[in-house]
Amino acid sequence: MHMSEDMFCINLKDRENATNFAAKVWRVGESLVITIPRAYVEKLKIREGDVLDVAVKVLKHVQR
């Protein structure tokens, strides 16, 4: 399985808030896995099963 690690700028929006932060994103096959810092999860009150509007911009790419 091909996996690469990228550094992205994440723009995470909900109905009332917009938040930008840098995060690591892993590509696994055709999927992206984004780790959202706990502070943002708590600030935006994100719960399991929530659907989020996420915009991703590549900052740098590291091939592994």
Residue 10 CB neighbour total at 10 angstroms: 21
pLDDT at res. 48:
84
The pLDDT of residue 17 is: 62
CA distances to 3, 19, 29, 46, 63 from 11, in Å: 23, 6, 23, 15, 23
pLDDT at res. 26 = 77
Residue 28 or 57, more confident: 28
pLDDT tens-digit readout, 6-56: 555 666 665 566 667 777 777 788 877 888 888 878 887 888 888 777 777
The per-residue pLDDT for 27 is 77
